[in-house]
Amino acid sequence: MREEHVRVSGHIAGIWDIDPVHSHVGFSARHLMVSKVHGRFTRFEGQIVTAANPAESSATATIDTTSLDTSNAQRDEDIKGENFLSVADYPAMTYRSTGIHPRGDGYRLDGELTIKGVTRPVVLELQVNGFGPDPYGATRAGFSASGEINREDFGLAANMTLPGGGLVVSREIQLMIEVEAALRRVGQE
């Protein structure tokens, strides 16, 4: 199948480093079937390669699972424990894109997510927010991505049930990612 040449306004081909100070890697899960709990990872790194043809671009990221923060220390320790992330044995999760395709006003970013040594395909809805200079002479790019995973697919299988049915924590986890990246080098390696 021939891949369509994707056009992005202001596109700059290059190698970009994710700026963790101006980026966000977050998630939410239904709790007790009545609300959502939000969390984030505070330490991560990654690289984006924007190709001359944006459809040939790629992204990789490593997320420090020990940096999990849900604004509740007891819940954080539970999620970091053996029933969920097992951070003592798996202190990082990784993402690697495998393809990008136009979809509506944005793109579909195909990739592989590895959590607890288990790798599964994950599709993210991607928005390219723009490319441009910062006030310090550098060049920045911004991206937003969202998606959903089933935590059980990655061995995050603690399933405490509620008396009336349902789970304390939903199987479906919503992913919310905001990335600002700094241009390291124009053009590809």
Residue length of the chain? 189
Name the pLDDT band for 1 (thresholds 50, 70, 90). Answer: very low
Characterize the bridge pairing of strands 58-64 and 169-186.
unpaired
Q: Is residue 37 part of a domain?
A: yes
Dump pLDDT digits (tens) for 109-161. Answer: 999 999 999 999 999 999 999 999 999 999 999 999 999 999 889 987 776 65
pTM of the model: 0.89
Taking CA atoms, 146 is separated from 48, 68, 107, in Å, by 17, 18, 11
Q: Is residue 112 part of a domain?
A: yes
Q: Please give the residue range of the domain that contains residue 84.
A: 14-186
Q: Is residue 1 part of a domain?
A: no
In a domain, 2, yes or no: no
Is 6 part of a structural domain of the chain? no
What is the tens place of the pLDDT at every residue in 90-118? Answer: 999 999 999 999 888 889 999 999 999 99
Judge whether 91 lies within some domain. Answer: yes
- Give the tens place of pLDDT for each residue, 50-96: 998 888 999 999 999 999 999 999 989 999 998 889 999 999 999 99
Which of these, 47, 45, 28, 46, lies nearest to 37 by C-alpha position? 28
Band (165; pLDDT cuts 50, 70, 90): low
The pLDDT value recorded for residue 168 is 60
CATH of the domain at 53: 2.40.128.110
Is residue 9 a part of any domain in this protein?
no
Average pLDDT, the chain: 89
DSSP states along 90-107: --EEEEEEEEEEEETTEE
What's the number of domains the chain is made of? 1
74 Rama class: left (phi>0) / alpha (psi -120 to 50) / beta? alpha
Three-state secondary-structure class, residue 115 = strand
The whole-number pLDDT of residue 171 equals: 81
- Whether 3 is in a domain gets the answer no
